[in-house]
Amino acid sequence: MDALPHFETLLLTRQGRLLTLTLNRPDALNAFNLQMHDELPEALIFARSDAGSDVLLLTGAGRAFSAGGDLDHIARNAANPELFDHEVDQARRIITTLMDIDKPVICRMNGHAVGLGATIALFCDIIFAQSQAKIGDPHVALGLVAGDGGAIIWPALIGAARAKEYLLTGELLSAERAAAIGLINHALSTDALDEAVIASVARLLAGAQFAIRATKRLANAELKRLVAAQLDAGLELERQSVRTADHREGVAALKEKRTPKFGKGSEHN
């Protein structure tokens, strides 16, 4: 059995045939800084090939699943947009590796999942969320294109009309609303959340592993096609949006805790 690798922003643990990957920046609500962007693809690559596990569980330490991008990190990229190009490569690795994991991936969404955090949660196979948590992709609120997977997975799960309403406004949904429209599987109280996750993992671990993995591959075939067709274009559009005046204004407004004043059409970019 392979030894578990060590990371600074993530925690890998194994219990029997269950591998748990915890986003582990609790003081920052598990927001993504550069190090987490770099470490998560490596952890997922390990999980993909780990012969010691049959189920992967993704969760967050502390009060949130992931608050999305770390504000200082986002501001650094806005001031030096060429630095974002590296992040584009890492975002591609995160999504494509998640798509290549044949074993079931369960999300224990223990708190808010925002931006990239929401995208990662939604690319899991079964999503159990704490009922008070919120989920959303507010890229546009920062003048950014939702290019790192959100514009792929939201329409795939809930249809284009509903997905565009949330992606184009950046509105956050309650977990209960998300479950009601089929974006996630379950919204549960904290106690019920853990019981449901444990029961789901146990059922999957007791199942026929070849059949489960092959069925997952079949069920994901269309989603993988969409990722192959759209992800690179989405990441390129997000890369362009990082270089706009609207994005710089969105970051400034967030730091100053005010409403952003975006330009009309393309005049502000």
Position 172 scores a pLDDT of: 97
Q: Residue 182 region, left (φ>0) first, then alpha (ψ -120 to 50), else beta?
A: left
Mean pLDDT of the region 232-253: 96
Give me the pLDDT at residue 267, please: 46
Confidence of residue 191 (pLDDT cuts 50, 70, 90): confident
Position 157 pLDDT exceeds 80: yes
Confidence (pLDDT) at 1: 67
Q: Are 83 and 46 in contact (CB under 8 A)?
A: no
Confidence of residue 241 (pLDDT cuts 50, 70, 90): very high
* Predicted local confidence at residue 41, as pLDDT: 98
Give the 3-state secondary structure of residue 170.
coil
- Per-residue pLDDT for 5 more than 50? yes
Task: Please state, rounded to an integer, the average pLDDT across all residues of the chain.
Answer: 95
Question: What angle, rounded to 10 degrees, do the helices at 84-100 and 221-242 form?
Answer: 170
Q: Is the pLDDT of residue 168 over 50?
A: yes
69-117 pLDDT tens trace: 899 999 998 999 998 999 999 999 999 999 999 999 999 999 999 999 9
Percent of the chain residues past pLDDT 90, beyond the cut: 91
The least confident of 3-12, 68-77, 192-201 is 68-77
What's the number of CA atoms in the CB half-sphere (13 Å) around residue 188? 17
Q: The pTM is what?
A: 0.95
How would you classify residue 226: left for phi > 0, otherwise alpha for psi between -120 and 50, otherwise beta?
alpha
- Residue 210, pLDDT above cutoff 50: yes
Q: Which domains does the chain have, with CATH numbers?
A: 10-256 (3.90.226.10)
Residue 26 pLDDT greater than 60, yes or no = yes
Across residues 5-26, what is the average pLDDT? 98
